[in-house]
Amino acid sequence: MVVLHPLSNFIDSNVISTSPDYYYEGRCPQSGELLRLPRTQMAETIACGLMQQLKSDERYSSEGKMYGILLVELPSGEQRILKAFSGLLQGCSEVSGWVPPIPGREQIALDEARTLAQLDAIKLELINLKQLPQRQQYETLCHEFDLQWQQLSDRHRERKQQRHEKRQILCDESTGVDLTVILEQLDEESRQDGIERRIFKRQRAEALQPLKQLIAFSDARLCELKRQRKELSRQLQAQMHAAYSVMNFLGKSRSLQQLMPLGLPTGTGDCCTPKLLHYAAAHNLKPLAMAEFWWGASSINLDKIQGKFYGACVERCQPMIGFLLSGLQERQRGGDEIPIVYEDEWLIAVNKAAGLLSVPGRGSDRQDSVLSRLRHLLPEGILLNNVHRLDQDTSGILLLARDRQTHRQLSQQFQQRLVHKVYEAILSGIVTIDKGVIELPLWGDPQNRPYQQVDWQRGNNSLTHFQVTGREEGYTRLEFTPLTGRTHQLRVHAADPKGLGIPILGDRLYGCRAVANRLHLHARELCFHHPQLGETLHLKVKTPF
């Protein structure tokens, strides 16, 4: 099957190069380096050539979907084109001339066929249950009985009024035995009306109850089928995501489940971007530029415009791009590695670099972190969880647990203030006292996160011991021992006038004006009780400044 196409199939002549207006980009899970692949003018021109080919066949216009092209360079230096479609094309996952789907589907083909057959059977039964003839019969009978009841009620109401009027007249005009007899006759008429109403209600119930029970049974079956359908779909998606495996340009493969452990939207792995980049990596092709566009009818929900270029979808593709592009721009950057301070089968402690997040943040540009890197690098890394966090700009010891029980037990030690922590810092001025205690209430303004401030009404108590270890050239080196773990606690305790009144060197957020290449705050020591070994661990790393 021919997948690589010459440029002449899409463009007639060379295209004048201009600056790209869009990049497919993501951070390498290992190094954190921002990797980018442009959508160039040539890529868009090639894509327009593909649009002309699609335009000539009406079948493509009736089935709206994303299409993509990837301009690649062969080992020989020649340039070729790969083209891909999202999902299925006219019901097929493999079509001659197009990049094949990501490997893995064949591993679950039998299970997929069986599950799809079950889903089709459920769909048919759902339709039959929703179109059950007894539903219409029940509605029709209810309507007829309501009309009859209304007529009966109106008639009885009129007769009751007549009896009431008769009683008033008789009581005024008649006496003796005649009055008693007539009143008894009126009471009997009232009783007969009541009997007629009860007979009607019984007849109504006898006619409707069997239908009502059947409909209730059908509705219960509908709920159960929908639950089964949801569970079958979830199981199939999980199987597919575990089986689907993509390769990057370092030659490393990961399943979709490993790449997106927090959950994968439906259709993940079937888009153009992962198809094109995986194929290029697996066949030793160097990507130069890529472009994706919508072609065909657009659904109301998607609201796509035919012929318009779109970037990578945020939910399904963007989280994978950093891994997929890894290896395109190989650089020796040993400082991006995460040194391990201590590890065993229950926990791991690393020496986090300044500038690296402890855990992924919000947004595609804040996914690189200690946790995300270790989850990709270590066997069973997907089970790792941070026990505590360090600020992005703070370096030092960070503790992670390898199982839930260890995570819970270590977290309890932090919450109960049983963990001994020592930080080393350089302040951008001279502290005149040698040691002391700082106790201040800290509050974070929701409108100005992550900035913290001293607030005596709303703040949470925070407590820190400090010890000066040296003074030199207008700076002070000291050790902080925090007894609480509030956000930015040491930074505020250093900078606030009610604390030391001197910000940490490099802490621009809290007022440092001195020139510095980093925040001079380092988590140097961590001492805690190992929950599984039953012994005290005292970890210590060298301060890098």
Residue 322 CB partners (closer than 8 Å, separation 6+): 26, 27, 28, 29, 35, 367, 368
Cβ–Cβ under 8 Å, residues 370 and 339: no
Q: Specify the pLDDT at position 252.
A: 82
Q: What is the pLDDT of residue 18?
A: 54
Quick one: pLDDT band at residue 93, thresholds 50, 70, 90?
confident
pLDDT for the residue numbered 148: 93
Read off the pLDDT band of 364 (50, 70, 90).
Answer: low
Please tell me which residue, 454 or 109, carries the higher pLDDT value: 454
β-strand pairing of 395-401 with 521-529 = parallel
Summarised one tens digit per residue, pLDDT across range 10-62 is 887 555 545 577 889 888 887 777 888 999 888 999 999 999 999 988 778 77
In angstroms, rounded to a whole number, what is the distance separating the alpha carbons of residues 66 and 87? 9
Each domain of the chain, given as residue ranges in start order, spans: 7-103+244-325, 125-220, 338-540
What's the confidence (pLDDT) of residue 224? 94
Would you state the pLDDT for residue 219?
Answer: 92
Residues 307-358 have pLDDT tens digits of 999 998 887 788 889 889 988 764 333 334 688 999 988 999 999 998 889 9
Task: Find which of 113-117, 119-123, 388-392 is predicted with most confidence, using mean pLDDT.
Answer: 388-392
Q: Which of 270, 368, 391, 393 is catalytic?
A: 391
Task: Return the minimum-mean-pLDDT range out of 4-8, 60-64, 101-105, 454-458.
Answer: 101-105
pLDDT in the model for residue 420: 96
Amino acid, single-letter form, for residue 333: R
pLDDT for 259 = 74
Confidence at residue 33, expressed as pLDDT on a 0 to 100 scale: 78
pLDDT exceeds 90 at position 361: no
Contacts of 225 (CB under 8 A, 6+ apart): 122, 125, 126, 129
CB atoms within 10 A of CB 53: 12
Mean pLDDT of the chain: 86
> DSSP characters for 292-315?
EEEES---TTT---TT-B----TT
pLDDT mean over 98-118: 73
**Angle at alpha carbon of residue 483, lines to 480 and 489, rounded to 5°:** 65
- Between the ranges 114-118, 129-133, 446-450, 515-519, where is the mean pLDDT highest? 129-133
**Averaging pLDDT over each range in 178-187, 295-304, 372-381, 418-427, which range is the top one?**
418-427
pTM, two decimal places: 0.44
Tell me the one-letter amino acid at 339: P
Q: What is the pLDDT of residue 175?
A: 64
Q: What is the pLDDT of residue 220?
A: 93
Q: Which of 415, 413, 424, 433 is nearest to 537 (CA)?
A: 413
pLDDT of the residue at 101: 86
Q: Of the candidates 41, 39, 38, 1, which has an alpha carbon nearest to the alpha carbon of residue 18?
A: 41
CATH classification of 338-540 is 3.30.2350.10, yes or no? yes
Q: Please, which pLDDT band fits residue 73 given cuts at 50, 70 and 90?
A: confident
Task: Kindly state the average pLDDT of the residues 291-317.
Answer: 83
> In the predicted model, is pLDDT for residue 171 greater than 90?
no
DSSP β-ladder status, 340-343 and 347-352: antiparallel
Collapsing DSSP to helix, strand or coil, 441 comes out as: strand
Residue type, 210: P
pLDDT attached to residue 484 = 94
Over 80: is that where the pLDDT of 127 sits? yes
Give percent of the chain above pLDDT 70.
Answer: 88
Phi-psi region of 307 (alpha: psi -120 to 50; beta: other; left: phi over 0): left
pLDDT tens-place string over residues 216-244: 999 999 999 999 988 887 777 666 666 67
Is position 403 annotated as part of the catalytic site?
no
